[in-house]
Amino acid sequence: MRFLIILLIVAYITPVSAQLHQQLYERYDTYKETSLSDRRFKPEDIQALLRQLDSNFAKKEAGRSVEGRPISLITYGNGPAQVLLWSQMHGDEPTATQALMDIFKWLASSNDGFDVVRDKIRKSLTLHFIPMLNPDGAMRFTRRNHHDIDINRDALRLQTPEGKILKQVRDSLKADWGFNLHDQQRNTSVAGNAASVSLLAPAFNENRDVNKTRGDAMKLVRYIYDQLQVFIPGQVGIYPDDFEPRAFGDNIQKWGTRTILVESGGFEQDFERQQVRKLNFVLLISALESIASSSYKRVDVKKYHEIPHNENRRLHELMLFNVSVEGLIRDVAFDRRETQNTAARHYYATGNISDLGDLRTSVAYNRFDASGLVVEWGKLYPTIFETVNDLQKADLTALLKLGFTDFIVVEPVDKFSTVISLPVNIHSTMPAIIKTLRLGSNPSLVFKKDEVVKAVVVNGQLFSLNN
């Protein structure tokens, strides 16, 4: 009997939301907006999705960008607490915009086991979304707006129509909560790991004081942090919290809206940030549920300060340790550079040396110890291929094992759309093979033991040839 009573008590006090974040994570694919799968989608892609929203949502044009693109305001629910979420104020920070499209699909669903949560959100909150606040920047996949103004430094001067729209919407709602949704650099680290998500309850003054508004935001940040630990332990940090008097997050906190900054970061080899998009979906719905149920109020605000902060050292893509070449032993770090086409739709990536020397205190996504290995420069294959297809048909693994990393292809190659299955360099004319390790350079390296090639590095990508 006693056992039964305990069971009943546990069942009663365990909120419906106890496992919400895990359920959302497991069933995410049901709600994923599959028309978006990479970062360089365009304003018209988002507008097309917004046009399809059903009668659960109210849609209006909040205003227009400098170049005349519509900036939409989407509203859902009819509860007393006003929640404003805005994404992609920086045009090249698109992860959360995709997650908002996934959240719309989730909000529009029913009879899927989430109706209780959805009803609670709808009756307690009114959600206001501005997806893609900077469509002109998104069009070119650049941070700033048409006039090269950083909208996030325009909260006071209000010279950008995009910033004016955000201010006007916030003021008209007197929003109770604000979610400021950004992306941070892939090389941002926390505790030696990728900072896949960083969070912040922005300061509203130089002193970084805590008032009721910011205190509530801090509690919710800690709530989100705890939930994310299930999925990405050690990969969540606090974003730098210096007061920036010109930024929106800091000012919106100051204007009385409990504000939470979410920064989507890097994750393993997921360059299009689809995994972090999924985490945005989970964390945002969980946070909305927590606001609706007031569960965040039970969080001890002091625990906000225990969250690790983003580190200053950047996370390299690849670190090679103890590389013995040119008569020196050096560690070599590679970072990734993206070059996009003029339509800002496609890109190719190169890996360039970003640091050299004793790098034992540095951190990286991938690490390789070259101790005891002979290092040679990658070689140009003497036979010329007519087409990329011909090259693809060759046994590239066998050629890499012979130390050939660079190939000449006669047909013009569109670097932006050509994908080769293995890391090799393609040239159209006789290239100058790089035979030195220099900052910014991009040499191909071959690692041998007993005359057998164990691994190659091409374009900053490590490819193991261990069998």
* Chain residues in the site for Zn ion (CB under 5 A): 90, 93, 182
Q: Which is nearer to Zn ion, 146 or 182 (CB)?
A: 182
Q: How far is the CB of 93 from Zn ion (least distance, A)?
A: 5
Calculate the alpha carbon distances from 159 to 151, 155, 255, 429 in Å.
Answer: 9, 9, 19, 49
Q: Which is nearer to Zn ion, 182 or 254 (CB)?
A: 182
Q: Which is nearer to Zn ion, 182 or 214 (CB)?
A: 182
Pick from 344, 317, 349: nearest CA to 415: 349
Q: Which is nearer to Zn ion, 163 or 460 (CB)?
A: 163
Q: Which is nearer to Zn ion, 125 or 262 (CB)?
A: 262
Q: Which is nearer to Zn ion, 151 or 457 (CB)?
A: 151
How many other C-beta atoms are found inside a 10 Å radius of the C-beta of residue 443? Answer: 23
Q: How far is the CB of 278 from Zn ion (least distance, A)?
A: 20
Q: How far is the CB of 47 from Zn ion (least distance, A)?
A: 22
Pick from 319, 323, 417: nearest CA to 360: 319
Pick from 113, 275, 294, 300: nearest CA to 225: 300
Calculate the alpha carbon distances from 384 to 260, 417, 426, 430 in Å.
Answer: 56, 21, 11, 10
Q: How far is the CB of 164 from Zn ion (least distance, A)?
A: 18
Q: How far is the CB of 133 from Zn ion (least distance, A)?
A: 10
Residues in the chain: 467
Q: How far is the CB of 374 from Zn ion (least distance, A)?
A: 45
Instruction: Name residue 318's beta-bridge partners.
Output: 334, 366
Q: What is the DSSP string of 304-370?
A: GGGSPBPBSS-EEEEEEEEEEETTEEEEEEEEEEEEE-TTSS-EEEEEEEEEEE--TT-EEEEEEE-
Q: Which is nearer to Zn ion, 152 or 213 (CB)?
A: 152
Q: How far is the CB of 182 from Zn ion (least distance, A)?
A: 3
First to last CA, the chain: 62
Pick from 120, 103, 56: nearest CA to 292: 120
Q: Which residue sits closest to Zn ion, CB atoms considered?
A: 182
